[in-house]
Structure 1
Amino acid sequence: MGAHIAFLTIPAAGHLNPTLPLVAELVRRGHRVSYATGAAFRSAVLATGAEFVELDWAPQAVKVSPAGQTTAELGEMLTGFVRIARRVIPAIEQWLETDRPDLFCYDMMTFIGPMVAAKLGLLEATTVANLATNEHFDFRREMAPADFDPRHPKFQQFMTERAAFAADFGVPVEKVVATGAVAGLNLVFVPREFQVAGETFDERFRFVGPAVGARVETADWEPPADGRPLLFVSLGTVVNDRPDFFTACAKAFGGTNWHVAMAIGDQVDPAVLGAAPANFDVRRSFPQPAVLAHAAAFLTHAGMNSVMEALLYQVPMATFPQTPEQHANARRVAELGLGRSLPDLDPESLREVVDGVAADPSIVEQLEVMAGHLHRAGGPVAAADAVEAYLATPGAGRGGGTRGG
């Protein structure tokens, strides 16, 4: 008889999408999966065969100044996390108490997860859609803005609301908005070879690599028929309000030999960008895996999903990170010889970096090596194997697993 496995993930594509192939694999093996997140991801969750548990949790807007995230912007974002947690915790607790799972699997960035698991005595695991944290590498240190000042009023407001939340819910204050929870099982969606200090992570961490699923219908997109090399440009789904970036790309690559597929997201008004060059295909979004399968270069924000998909399809990267997390990913891409970062938005610099990564044989070589690591990591099959082994471990225990009435 299959187990009941409950998932909880913040309503952000970069954190939720990597879990969906795992969920589908667990369902295929006969397990019952319930999945709680925001309403925007209902159809994606239901498509895996899981039961959807809707939370009053909308994707949170993330503000990032062109020069990089500021202390004020970080403080506002963290305060938002605390306020959202207050709103959704009662529904999460009711769901898990009514339909107690054998395993509670929460996103590493979802600090609510370990709080609720401890309160209800649930067997817990984490999913990690970014670089993992241990005593040798603390990913949280990568998240601080360059101008970080804990005395800033916006950050002090976060600290005040954090302390009040901890007091109200009876948890240590350091557990509130604390990323990097380490459970008995931690499923990391990058290969160990990409992880910073990967050799230092113990058996609690399973580096299963990415599991790419189709997220957007592909019927309305085809690769260029004229044989020109394809450049894919995207700043992801969260921080993409950068008309200056998209305008610079048009100036840099308009009239060149590149066929440019440019995803501008849902925050930029296309009218602001003006008429696109003839060699550009500009849309709100593209079916990213399908485009990368044909791309010769990828101009990317370096979100981890995008980085892993580029590695899977062995596409050289030119990175233009927007958030501290993306800057950490971009540094790792450069360290491993998989791409280069843009120094600025000067059109000549853009062309130089993109043309350079596309033509660099050492990058091509390193991409091939890393793609091999990705495939050997095992993806959703390896992750599901790890979950089943964890559930079967003597002493792991079961949470009950029977559906509540």
Structure 2
Amino acid sequence: MAACSLPMPMPLADMSSPTVAIFNVAMIGHVNPTFALVQELVQRGCRVHYFLPPVEAIRQAAKDSGAFVESYQPDVQDLVLEQCGTQEPPAEIDPEELALWTRAVWPLASTLLCGDYICRRCEELGVSVVLYDPMTPHGLLVAEKLKIPKASLVTYPGMGSLSELMSHTERLQRAAEIRKPLGDEIQKVFGVDLQVELLTRRQYYAPMNFITTCEDLVAPLPEDAPWAEELRTHCSFIPVGCLVSARAPHVITARSNGQVLSRAKSFGHGLPAAELSAQLAQGHKIVFAALGTMALSDRWAIDLGRASGGNLPLGTTGKQYCQHVWKALLEAMEELGEDYYCVLSAGKQPDALDFLEDDDDDYALPQNVIVRTFVPQVEMLNHYTSVFLSHVGFNSLQESLMAGVPLVAVPQAVDQPANARKVESCGWGVSFFHPMSSVSGPALASALRAVGGQQGFHAAVAEAKADLQGGAERLTEKLLEL
């Protein structure tokens, strides 16, 4: 793995100001919403110490927002939380259960590995309150061990949006059985009960949890599910509003789960600002197409359908999903003609556009399409985009709403189908709920034409933006109360 620079030792606590510890994973969708919060906390006089794995792009964004970056372990430059404890799965494990086993093991195994250091470090810093991503029980351990206030930060519309993934009670019970030995070991070593027997320990919620959206966007819990009743009994969830800010750092690409591409393809990262401005000046509509980091990196070559909740066929890889949508998009742009211009964010997989390659490694693109590896999404949405073709991951959805841009939704997995239903029901755009069967060139051209041209979509998006604003300020007040 590429080495990452470690943070310089920080002074111990300045007791005149509150000290906030944040714990997170190296996932763009989980960290990007936090940087505006860090800025607000620092502006209010707080010290923020941000515990992150050694992924340099994410760590630099945390520093740029005003946080002191901390390690989960000192002097370790290649720690991947999601690999802790998973190197040797049980020999008899069924391949279908491997993902379940891995997801159950790594949060607790990494907490066991790092727990002693992070507890000592937070005690040295005089941490006043812990805020943690619910994928990281590390923050929960620290708060329980040091007996300080805590909350988790939910950067998706709540567990209700994962109802399809939580619908198999027997799998939830099996995951609890896998977690039990690790939970027992944590209780033995640290004297802390992380309640690993809870069915909802797919996420390590706290008694108090803040959701980074408005109340209308929180996905409701089902009425008759045991796991949902468990949440109602043990946890409270408070929507605080959206944390998106054009002033905050925003990570557009980072190594994920230790992945290193052997032959990364680069189409460039910069915005073609002059060309985009010229297109807008001529009254043309600009389509921005970005399908998220899950399909473009972690699940490029593996089954994306298994996490989809039924909207993608089982066995569909990230590559198959992306290329199906991209083929339809290129066909749609041919049909839409010069009145439309498209920026396509294609990621850095070496075979991203292999369906277009000729013998000279060139690409036969329509003249009104330009491809970039990644672009600064918030800037693109705020200044140039007329319509956003998106997988509607929760951050992308909210970034689009906050920029006043309507959407064409092509959901993949996890919370995205629920987000796409919200896009359709609230009038924020058009959704293709089963992209592999419903997305075609003509269908996509029709949707882009409708969303780009009808003012009703823009009015609905503007109303949503008004409801979402003020999240960073509101959440800061809540943390200061704690």
- Pairing 1:6-405 to 2, within 5 Å after superposition: 6-40=21-55, 41-55=58-72, 57-58=79-80, 76=99, 79-80=102-103, 82-100=105-123, 101-133=127-159, 138-144=160-166, 150=170, 158=175, 161-170=178-187, 171=193, 172-175=195-198, 177-179=201-203, 181-184=205-208, 186-197=209-220, 205-212=238-245, 213-215=248-250, 220-222=271-273, 223-226=276-279, 227=282, 228-240=284-296, 241=318, 242-254=322-334, 256=337, 257-267=339-349, 269-274=351-356, 275=363, 276-293=365-382, 294-342=384-432, 343=434, 344-375=438-469, 378-390=470-482
Question: 2:261 corresponds to which residue?
Answer: none
Cα displacement string for residues 311-351 of structure 1 (whole angstroms, at most 9, x for unaligned residues): 01111111111113111211122222212212522111111
CA distance in 1, matches of 2:82, 2:381: 27
Counterparts in 2 of 1:6 and 1:89: CA distance versus 1, 3 Å:
farther
Letter in 1 for 2:373: R
Runs of 5+ in structure 1 lacking a partner? 62-70, 391-405
CA distance in 2, matches of 1:73, 1:9: 28
CA distance in 1, matches of 2:101, 2:63: 30
User: Do the aligned partners of 1:22 and 1:381 also contact (CA within 8 Å) in 2?
Assistant: yes
| SS class of match (2:32) | helix
Letter in 2 for 1:196: A
CA distance in 2, matches of 1:188, 1:36: 20
Cα displacement string for residues 243-300 of structure 1 (whole angstroms, at most 9, x for unaligned residues): 2322222122136232101111233624504212221111111111111122111110
User: Do the aligned partners of 1:190 and 1:209 also contact (CA within 8 Å) in 2?
Assistant: yes
Counterparts in 2 of 1:259 and 1:58: CA distance versus 1, 3 Å:
farther
User: Do the aligned partners of 1:42 and 1:54 also contact (CA within 8 Å) in 2?
Assistant: no
Cα displacement string for residues 135-159 of structure 1 (whole angstroms, at most 9, x for unaligned residues): xxx44424348xx6957xxx99856
1:180 Cα deviation after fit: 6.5
CA distance in 2, matches of 1:263, 1:374: 26
Letter in 1 for 2:165: M
| SS class of match (2:354) | helix
Letter in 2 for 1:279: N
Letter in 2 for 1:338: W
- Supply the RMSD in Å over aligned alpha carbons: 3.1
Runs of 5+ in structure 2 lacking a partner? 1-15, 73-77, 84-93, 188-192, 222-231, 253-268, 297-317, 357-362
Counterparts in 2 of 1:72 and 1:282: CA distance versus 1, 3 Å:
farther
Question: 2:263 corresponds to which residue?
Answer: none
User: Do the aligned partners of 2:426 and 2:460 also contact (CA within 8 Å) in 1?
Assistant: yes
1:308 Cα deviation after fit: 0.4
User: Do the aligned partners of 1:224 and 1:259 also contact (CA within 8 Å) in 2?
Assistant: no
Cα displacement string for residues 87-110 of structure 1 (whole angstroms, at most 9, x for unaligned residues): 344324422323321101111333
Identity %: 23
| SS class of match (2:17) | coil
1:178 Cα deviation after fit: 3.2
CA distance in 1, matches of 2:366, 2:164: 37
Counterparts in 2 of 1:99 and 1:118: CA distance versus 1, 3 Å:
closer
CA distance in 2, matches of 1:149, 1:251: 43
Greater relative contact order (Cα < 8 A, sep 6+): 1
CA distance in 1, matches of 2:351, 2:137: 34
CA distance in 1, matches of 2:236, 2:107: 33
CA distance in 2, matches of 1:265, 1:318: 19
Larger CA deviation: 286-295 vs 165-174: 165-174
Counterparts in 2 of 1:42 and 1:92: CA distance versus 1, 3 Å:
farther
TM-score by length of 2: 0.68
CA distance in 1, matches of 2:38, 2:156: 18
Letter in 2 for 1:17: N
User: Do the aligned partners of 1:246 and 1:273 also contact (CA within 8 Å) in 2?
Assistant: no
User: Do the aligned partners of 2:289 and 2:344 also contact (CA within 8 Å) in 1?
Assistant: yes
Letter in 2 for 1:35: Y
TM-score by length of 1: 0.80
CA distance in 2, matches of 1:359, 1:389: 45
Cα displacement string for residues 209-267 of structure 1 (whole angstroms, at most 9, x for unaligned residues): 23223426996431241332100101111223322322222122136232101111233
Larger CA deviation: 261-270 vs 29-38: 261-270
CA distance in 2, matches of 1:118, 1:22: 23
Cα displacement string for residues 27-73 of structure 1 (whole angstroms, at most 9, x for unaligned residues): 22221111112211211111122111123554869xxxxxxxxx977
| SS class of match (1:109) | coil
Letter in 2 for 1:262: L
